[in-house]
Amino acid sequence: MNRVKVPDIVVSRLPVYLRALQYMAANGSITTSSQELGDKVGISAPQIRKDLSQFGEFGKPGTGYHIPFLIEHLLQILKVEHVWDVVLVGMGELGHAILRYQGFGNRGFRIVACFDNDPAKIGELIADFKVDDAEKIVEKVRARGTKMAMLCVPASAAQQVTDKLVEAGVKGVLNYAPVSLTVPPDVRVQYIDPVIGLQRMAYYLQDK
Amino acid sequence: MNRVKVPDIVVSRLPVYLRALQYMAANGSITTSSQELGDKVGISAPQIRKDLSQFGEFGKPGTGYHIPFLIEHLLQILKVEHVWDVVLVGMGELGHAILRYQGFGNRGFRIVACFDNDPAKIGELIADFKVDDAEKIVEKVRARGTKMAMLCVPASAAQQVTDKLVEAGVKGVLNYAPVSLTVPPDVRVQYIDPVIGLQRMAYYLQDK
């Protein structure tokens, strides 16, 4: 695909549109408008039209968007029309919950291996996965060619594990550890820290 | 506090600065510079100086920022110098992991109650919490005056539960369900959906 440089803030909204469209499709809808989609995701209709116009002509004035057509194109744009392999590091309580989560496969991702450094956990079977030794991350991830990882280790271990994942060729890290990571320019990190979300909301709450 | 209107994008970065500063403080640092802080969080030094200048004068040219002083002010700005009560709805695998997570208390939040609608779970003791009946959300949350909630229910139930939380007076919802929520203008939602993060990264990965 010939790509123009699209601002990251636009890219960040595409998965939200896709999720809402898939939800509408699952509920039997065939067409939608930027207005209806905007109401569902809390983004203005003109913003949605502008965002999507960066990638082509998807809607028609009067009739709006054909949902399956727009979903198909968003899957292509986001490169999730096929399923990406992901490795998971850190098999604590959260790692367990993620491993058992059923919501990845139908949205473009599947966990293919999981790692921990706790001898008590290595070799354990969790949801049909055998926990691998974290010492083997570089070797095993590189051998599989996996490009994405989810990180559920303690903050104190997160950078060290990230360095190993990067060495193994991983280009995208979804980081659940509450700490900022340093990575080379060709590697991306997305952060999931519930406290960051709570603190952002606390700012707007009335003083106690 | 007399507040000027600060852009949401600036507010969104403050918790990230705070987290990095607290990490530095825990490792014994007393002062830092916008350059050092920027390297840690992946944000440029001028951007950090500009963001912080919206709230006052925190740094000195040449000596930089006094970390405990800046932490104290960020805690005040974000209103997390005291601990906020939070309720948790949905006691599946993820709800369990969140309830057991030790990382809230020292960052401004504590879970005070949890709810589920599954008769098999209601009354169960999890990490010293008794699971309450989701039917009683409005009554119990209102009685406590809790203003924040974490939502770990299936997507199909998320809007309905949110409506109850809003009715109970909740003003901030951290939503783990993979669906956009509709709330009144005085209520804020923060989304945690790992697939959104993975899809954002997939966009930037080389084609397979």
Residues B158 and B117 in one domain: yes
Task: Tell me the residues of chain B between 148 and 187 that have a Cβ less than 8 Å away from chain A.
Answer: 148, 150, 155, 171-172, 174, 178-180, 182
The token pair that represents B154 in the structure block:
């299936």
The DSSP secondary-structure symbol of A6 reads -
- The neighbouring-strand residues paired with A132 are A115
Residues A54 and A146 in one domain: no
Range of the domain at A69: 8-77
B166 part of a folded domain: yes
Domain end call among B40, B58, B77: B77
What pLDDT score does B207 carry? 61
Residues B95 and B52 in one domain: no
Residues B97 and B178 in one domain: yes
A207 part of a folded domain: no
Of A191, A195, A204, the CB nearest to B104: A195
pLDDT band (50, 70, 90) for residue A176 = very high
Test B41 with A11 for CB contact under 8 angstroms: no
- Determine contact: A69 vs chain B, CB below 8 A: no
| Pick from A81, A61, A59, A65: nearest CA to A30 | A65
B37 part of a folded domain: yes
The token pair that represents A129 in the structure block:
């996965």
Residues A113 and A184 in one domain: yes
Residues B73 and B106 in one domain: no
A2 part of a folded domain: no
Contact A159, A179 (CB under 8 A): yes
Domain end call among B19, B50, B77: B77
Q: How many CB atoms lie within 10 A of CB A160?
A: 10
| Pick from A96, A111, A189: nearest CA to A146 | A111
Please tell me which residue of chain B has the smallest CA distance to A77: B203
Residues A70 and A91 in one domain: no
Domain count, chain B: 2
A1 part of a folded domain: no
pTM of the model: 0.92
Domain end call among A34, A58, A77: A77
- pLDDT surpasses 60 at A118: yes
For residue A50, give every residue at least 6 positions away whose Cβ sits within 8 Å of its Cβ, in sequence order, or none. none
Residues B41 and B103 in one domain: no
Residues A65 and A102 in one domain: no
B1 part of a folded domain: no
- Determine contact: A107 vs chain B, CB below 8 A: yes
| Pick from A205, A123, A138: nearest CA to B149 | A205
Residues A88 and A66 in one domain: no
Angstrom distances, CA of residue A146 to CA of A153, A183, B110, B127: 19, 17, 37, 36
- The H or E element that residue B88 is part of is strand B84-89
Q: How many CB atoms lie within 10 A of CB B134?
A: 22
Residues B134 and B42 in one domain: no
- Determine contact: A15 vs chain B, CB below 8 A: yes
Test B16 with A97 for CB contact under 8 angstroms: no
- Which segments of chain A does DSSP mark as H helices, in order? 8-26, 34-41, 45-53, 67-77, 93-100, 137-144, 155-167, 194-204
Phi and psi angles of residue A73, each rounded to the nearest 5 degrees, phi first: -70, -40
CATH classification of the domain holding A24: 1.10.10.10
A120 part of a folded domain: yes
For residue B61, give every residue at least 6 positions away whose Cβ sits within 8 Å of its Cβ, in sequence order, or none. none
Residues B70 and B118 in one domain: no
Per-position pLDDT tens, chain B of length 208: 445 689 999 999 999 999 999 999 999 999 999 999 999 999 999 999 999 999 988 888 778 999 999 999 999 999 999 999 999 999 999 999 999 998 998 999 999 999 999 999 999 999 889 999 999 999 999 999 999 999 999 999 999 999 999 999 999 999 999 999 999 999 999 999 999 999 999 999 976 5
Strand B31-32 to B109-116 pairing: unpaired
Cα B193 off chain centre by:
14
CATH classification of the domain holding A141: 3.40.50.720
For residue A108, give every residue at least 6 positions away whose Cβ sits within 8 Å of its Cβ, in sequence order, or none. A75, A78, A80, A81, A82, A83, A84, B195, B198, B199, B202
- Separation CA A55–CA A76 (nearest Å): 11
Of A93, A94, A205, the CB nearest to B172: A205
Test B104 with A23 for CB contact under 8 angstroms: no
